[in-house]
Structure 1
Amino acid sequence: MGIGMFIFLFVTAVSIDSFGIGCVLGLKKVGLTMKGVLLIAGLSGIMFLLSSFFGHLLVQFVAADAAERVGALALIGIGIYFLWQFFKKEKVSEREPWLNPTKVLNDPVAADVDRSGGIQGKEVWLLGAALSLDTIGAGISGALIGIPTFFTAVMIAASTFIMLACGILSGKKLSDKAESLSILPGVLLIIIGLIKLS
């Protein structure tokens, strides 16, 4: 598999959740400005960069072949965790999002903590934190398997922006399919990990 296609799958796995979440927000008519979308996208890219830096530090202490195997296994582990979260689907209480941003991935409307009908101020950071959580593990794993850091971070930020914005705009039409999209990141990360192990 070419490096271009590999990066494409990697970026898609990390950012596709944004489309499903955008669809839910659009369906529920929960507002999010383009400035907020841009901030969230930038946060995802930055989190990938920071976690990749940590991954590159680890590479210095681990043999290249071993690092690639560890990175591939980590991607598979993250993928399995995403699938587990998808099927778990716990209900989110009003106070939980601030303490556990991962709950927002199961119920994006929970990011509108004050129930104002729009995600603004600190709530944008809450949604951004939830969407960028997967980039942390992916950044470390990506560094271990040799994915180009800066280029991938830019692609993740751009892809997150496009998918979140398009998801919000098309929420009403694609609302029935939005939930099923949440299973894709886990599946793709497992596939990428298996490819690197082979």
Structure 2
Amino acid sequence: MGIVLFTFLFGLAVSVDSFGIGCMIGLKKIGISKKGICAIACLSGCCYLLSAYLGEWIKPFIDQAYAERFGALGLIAIGLFFLFHCLRKPEKPTQEDNVWAQPTKVLQSPEAADLDRSGQIKGRELLLLSLALSLDTFAAGISGSFIGIDPNLTACLILIMTTFMLLAGVRSGEKLSKKINNISILPGMLLIIIGLIKLV
């Protein structure tokens, strides 16, 4: 598989969950500004870049014969983790502290990011949604550096794709409401497939 196509698929795997989140936000009639979406995308890209450089720093201390294998296994583990959370019955958090302590709950019920129930995601709520979306991004950054994916190119792809996915998801939430559950498992599946490709 060509490195450009592989990098694109990797960026898509890390970003595509933004589409499902956007769909559910749109379905619940919760507003989010374009500036807010851009801020979330920038934070996701920066989070990936930070973790990728962390992985590059760790990489010299690991036998190169095993680094790629560790990275591939890491991607598979991340994929399984997100599949597990997607397939679990959603739990709606009732306390704000509970949401900050377990941001994965926002992935199951994105409306939980609207902490003040104002119908708009703004201010620190954008940070909470960014944190939830960056969980796989941060872990994937370290694994991606181990398997030789370019950090800068991938961070840019994630920024662009996350912006597009969130915008498209919010605008098409109602039309795709019946398919949201199927869409939500794509990130985990793609990460597992990429990890398996690198293992073989």
Asked if Structure 1 and Structure 2 have the same fold, meaning a TM-score greater than 0.5 normalized by the shorter chain, the answer is: yes
Deviation at 1:29, TM superposition (A): 0.6
Map of 1:74 onto structure 2? 74
Q: What percentage of aligned pairs have identical amino acids? A: 55
Distance in 2, Cα, partners of 1:116 & 1:156: 29
Task: Kindly report which structure 2 residues correspond to 1:90-169, keeping only aligned pairs within 5 A, or say none.
Answer: 90-95=90-95, 96-169=98-171
Task: Classify the secondary structure of the residue corresponding to 1:172.
Answer: coil
Displacement after TM superposition at 1:176 (Å)? 1.3
Which amino acid letter does the alignment assign opposite residue 86 of structure 1?
Answer: C
Q: Provide TM-score, normalisation by structure 2.
A: 0.96
The one-letter amino acid of 1:126's match is: L
Q: CA RMSD in A?
A: 0.9
Give every structure 1 segment of 4 or more consecutive aligned residues whose post-TM-superposition deviation is greater than 3 Å. Answer: none
Letter in 2 for 1:161: T
Per the alignment, residue 9 of structure 2 pairs with 9
Cα offset, 1:179, TM superposition = 2.2
CA distance in 1, matches of 2:33, 2:94: 23
Equivalent of residue 186 in structure 1, options 185, 188, 197: 188
Q: Distance in 1 between matches of 2:48 and 2:65?
A: 22
- Note the C-alpha offset of 1:89: 3.0
Q: Which runs of 5+ in 1 are unaligned?
A: none
Q: Distance in 2 between matches of 1:37 and 1:3?
A: 29
Aligned to 1:50: 50
Distance 1:14 1:89 in 2: 22
Counterpart AA for 1:57: W
Report the number of matched residues.
Answer: 198
Q: TM-score, normalised to structure 1's length?
A: 0.97
Q: Is the 8 A contact 2:90 2:109 kept in 1?
A: no
Unaligned runs of 5+ in 2: none
Q: Return the offset for 1:90.
A: 3.9
- State the Cα deviation string for residues 12-53 of structure 1 (Å, max 9, x = none): 110101001101111111000001000000010000011011
Q: Distance in 2 between matches of 1:84 and 1:24?
A: 19
The answer to whether the 8 A contact 1:7-1:147 is kept is: yes
Q: 1:178, CA displacement in angstroms? A: 1.6
